[in-house]
Amino acid sequence: MSDYGHELRFGSFLTPSVHDPDQVVALAELTETAGLDLVTFQDHPYNAEFLDTWTLLSWVAARTERLRISGNVLSLPLRPPAVLARAAASLDRLSHGRFELGLGAGAFWDGIEGMGARRLTAGQGVAALREAIDLLRGVWDDTVDGPLRLDGEYYPVPGMQRGPKPAHDIDIWLGAYQPKMLALTGQKANGWLPTLEYLRSPDRVTANRLIDEAAVAAGREPREIRRLLNLFKVDVSSRSRGFLQGPVEQWVDQLLPLVLEEGFSTFLIGRDDPRLIQTLGQEIAPALREAVAKERAGGEAGTGPVRTTVALAARHPGLDYDALPASLATRSVEPGDPEYERVRHTYSWHGSPALVIRPQNAAEVVDAVSYARSQKVPLSVRSGGHGISGRSTNDGGVVIDMSRMNRVEVLDRATRRVRLEPGARWGDVAQALAPYGLAMSSGDYGDVGVGGLATTAGVGYLARKHGLTIDHVVAAEIVTADGRLLRVDDEQHPDLFWAVRGAGGNFGVVTALELEAYEVDNVVYAQLVADATDTAQLLRRWGQLVEDAPRELTSFLSLFPGRRGNPPAAQVTLVYAGDDVEAAQSALSPFLEIGPILDQQAQLVPYPAIVVPPGNQHRGQGLKDTRSGLLHHVTPQAADLMEHMIHSGDVMIMQLRSVGGAVNDVARDATAYPHREQNFSVLAATVPDRRPQLDKLWAELYAHLDGLYLSFESDTDPARLLDAWPEPTLGRLRAIKATYDPDNVFNRNFPIPPAGPVD
């Protein structure tokens, strides 16, 4: 008999009566406004008196904002699991992670058979449910490549596409009473969902024991299984003083042992009674929470996240997990946790960190930095996970993952002041600013995070008109290596503020940035595909046209080697910052002369449309061997060398991006990005086994380059520091590093050695 330490949840279990659908929905809405956590509906598809449960769940999800929703329980024989998996994931995505799956093996077999499904014995029903759970989880698992195949007896799957992935890890709760079902609950489910009235107290104790034993035998922790309970015969106005038949205090007294001695943590009342729903939310739930908290305060029940025995075994020996502050216990993901696969890698790098901490506010970042420093392991900081130079994952270390701090706020429309948290993606920033008629140029890829990009430069689609992203940063909040949370701007810690704009990853964890956005609505977005057989000529013409173009025009050019008998190709993106279509046309049309055009299109679109986040799962899939340089002009010699590169077949992609324009209006020493005379950024990328060839080719181009953009460079040779920050910038950065991070805690992105006493 034990308390499993789960946080308490309360909800309703409503009758999906077909006769008054509005009343059903109103009770669901009341469940939310009363402050409850969960609304559930029974599922009897053979009963014509009931609304179809799935349709009702979808409707209620759309009418509520916070409530979790679940069938209680869905009838598996009439909900084929392959379709159910997709429906569940879809509803979970539509409701932003609020769907949970209550599931049963089937009851009322006459009705089920009458609808054409096969009648199963109790044993067969359990076996079918076991297969269904594997199928559901297999469909939702996007960490496995290839189709899902299951050799099931009841639900064979010869080969189906996986996905969609739900918005969160959907819980599977089983309505179970018999030993085999209880064992299955312990082996595979996330929750047990019986009805109190069907189980006497000794039966509940036995059932809990069977679940626990099955869990342990399956290598799980009994705490992994939440215990939920439906309560039907309940009342607050009754004077009978029977079980849950009396005032609030009596409820609290009677529910308390169910929590502390029997481990139940979710209570669902099966009465369509608005007054009772309200009382549960406003009086009973808070009172029981308080009573339980008081009892637990001195007790032994763990209240942190539930970690499986398998997860505990997967912990890294080099990290003291018990030293993690309580504030971060529910924020961390360990190897072996279900979410680990999703947080271990980044877009370009594979990793196997010992711990990923996902703080939700600056105070938690302070705790995370101080914990990480106490451990002698690598520390990575991650925002969007698109770092190329920045290694925002590691092996055996700690990752502070800022993805949950992702708010975008317009602080003042008049001054165009906006506040961005680092975990926001640039595509989301564009979406959030657009209703205010504001934008902030970032890059070409909406999935890139604010934290990494806005601390190095930000070479975006509006660069020539509006400059780099960092040029608009007016203040930053940063947690430094000594655990201080500082606000830095032109007045406060101006040296650190300077360093954050170009070398931010070396100085701490940025928890927020304030920027001055600018007014942009629509832009003209054009794409050309050109035959790049004569690569050098195409590059020269493009380079000259870019330099001659009005500042409204920014262009990115990607070169791909010829494959399978096709010539090399160039994809040119042209963005005109404004909706003057005629002016855009005259700026764009000269580019039709850069070479033989194979395809072209242009459209007037809102700015967010050109930075839509693709929302990829990060698996280290990006090209990680990249070289970066900056060019003043696309000279004939540089163009010839770049042609040689792309024709060699050893380079997978080259990209040239226009900088120049407003980027070069900023003084060289105004920020820690000192490259204010160049007009182009050049990047070449390849696969690992061609890296030596790339280096050889790059060495030839190097003489024509002047500096590099560190966010596009994966070479870790310290000699490249001077390319990123030519003197006096590097010297100034080293001195500031010695003040704010003398122990070089933040050393995973072009690490700057702190200036020493002899420097």
What SS3 state is found at 732? helix
The whole-angstrom separation of Cα 70 and Cα 47 is 19
Stretch that binds ligand FAD, among 235-243, 446-454, 523-531, 600-608 (CB under 6 A): 446-454
Does 392 participate in binding ligand FAD (rule CB under 6 A)? yes
* Given 424, 448, 470, 557, the residue binding ligand FAD (CB under 6 A): 448
Ranges of H-type helices in 34-119: 53-63, 81-94, 109-114
Q: Does 476 contact ligand FAD by CB under 6 A? A: no
Instruction: Rule CB under 6 A: choose which of 458, 467, 660, 661 binds ligand FAD.
Output: 458
CB 187 within 8 A of CB 218: yes
Q: How far is the CB of 608 from ligand FAD (least distance, A)?
A: 15
What mask, x for binding ligand FAD by CB under 6 A, covers residues 727 to 756? ---------------------xx-------
Please state whether the peptide bond connecting residue 338 to the residue before it is cis, i.e. omega within 30 degrees of 0. no
Told to check if 422 binds ligand FAD by CB under 6 A, we report: yes
The tokens describing 222, both together, are 């009994």
Closest CB to ligand FAD among residues 230, 711:
711
Choosing from 234, 268, 381, 557, the residue that interacts with ligand FAD (CB under 6 A) is 381
Cα 335 to Cα 356: distance, rounded to the nearest angstrom? 9
Q: CB count, 10 Å around CB of 43?
A: 24
SS (H, E, C) 251-278: HHHHHHHHHHCCCEEEEEECCCCHHHHH
Phi and psi torsions of 233, nearest 5°: -85, 80
Per CB under 6 A, the list member of 382, 465, 541, 676 interacting with ligand FAD is 382
Single out the residue of 252, 268, 457, 755 in contact with ligand FAD (rule: CB under 6 A).
457
Tell me how far apart the alpha carbons of residues 547 and 591 are, in angstroms, rounded to a whole number.
12
Q: Does 397 bind ligand FAD (CB under 6 A)?
A: no
The answer to whether 383 contacts ligand FAD (rule: CB under 6 A) is yes
Q: How far is the CB of 427 from ligand FAD (least distance, A)?
A: 11
CB of 400 to ligand FAD, least distance (A): 8
Mark the segment that binds ligand FAD (CB under 6 A) among 12-20, 316-324, 367-375, 386-394.
Answer: 386-394
- Pick the stretch among 290-298, 377-385, 433-441, 542-550 that binds ligand FAD (CB under 6 A): 377-385
Place of tokens 């195949």: 149
Among 76, 453, 473, 694, binds ligand FAD (CB under 6 A): 453
Q: How far is the CB of 623 from ligand FAD (least distance, A)?
A: 9
DSSP state at residue 76: G
> Which is it for the CA torsion 686, 730, 673, 494, positive or negative?
positive
Residue selected from 452, 467, 608, 660 as contacting ligand FAD according to rule CB under 6 A: 452
Q: Is 116 left (phi over 0), alpha (psi -120 to 50) or beta?
A: left
- Kindly indicate which of the ranges 257-265, 448-456, 560-568, 633-641 contains the residues binding ligand FAD, using the contact rule CB under 6 A: 448-456
Candidate list 408, 459, 545, 569; residue touching ligand FAD; CB under 6 A: 459
Between the alpha carbon of residue 623 and those of residues 347, 381, 721, the distances in Å are 9, 20, 22
Token pair recorded at residue 509:
């964890």
The DSSP letter of residue 566 is: P
Give me the 598-627 binding string for ligand FAD, x by CB under 6 A, dash otherwise: ------------------------x-----
Q: Which residue has the tokens 């040689």?
A: 644
Binding-site member from 138, 222, 335, 384 for ligand FAD (CB under 6 A)? 384
Task: Residue 219: name the closest of 352, 330, 139, 314 by CA.
Answer: 314
Whole-number Å distance between alpha carbons of 700 and 702: 6
Q: How far is CA 132 from CA 76, 174, 570, 574, 671, in A?
A: 8, 12, 49, 50, 58
Q: Which of 42, 456 has the CB closer to ligand FAD? A: 456
Q: Does 102 bind ligand FAD (CB under 6 A)?
A: no
Pick out residues in 625-644 that bind ligand FAD (CB under 6 A): none
Contact stretch for ligand FAD (CB under 6 A) within 41-49, 387-395, 697-705, 724-732? 387-395
The one among 388, 430, 496, 708 contacting ligand FAD by CB under 6 A: 388
- Minimum gap (Å) between residue 464 Cβ and ligand FAD: 14
Rounded least distance, CB 330 to ligand FAD, Å: 21
We find the least distance from the C-beta atom of residue 441 to ligand FAD, in angstroms, to be 9
> Does the protein bind ligand FAD through residue 444 (CB under 6 A)?
yes
Q: Which is nearer to ligand FAD, 211 or 481 (CB)?
A: 481
CA gap 131, 151 in Å, rounded: 9
As a whole number of angstroms, the distance between CA 309 and CA 332 comes to 17
Residue 740 to residue 503: CA distance in whole angstroms: 13
Determine the Cα–Cα distance for residues 269 and 283; give it in Å rounded to an integer: 14
Both tokens assigned to 443: 């890059």
Between the alpha carbon of residue 337 and those of residues 332, 652, 712, the distances in Å are: 9, 36, 32
Residues 341-370 that bind ligand FAD (CB under 6 A): 346-348
Q: Which spans of this chain sit near ligand FAD (rule: CB under 6 A)?
A: 346-348, 380-388, 390-392, 402, 422, 443-445, 448-449, 451-453, 455-460, 504-505, 509-510, 622, 711, 748-749
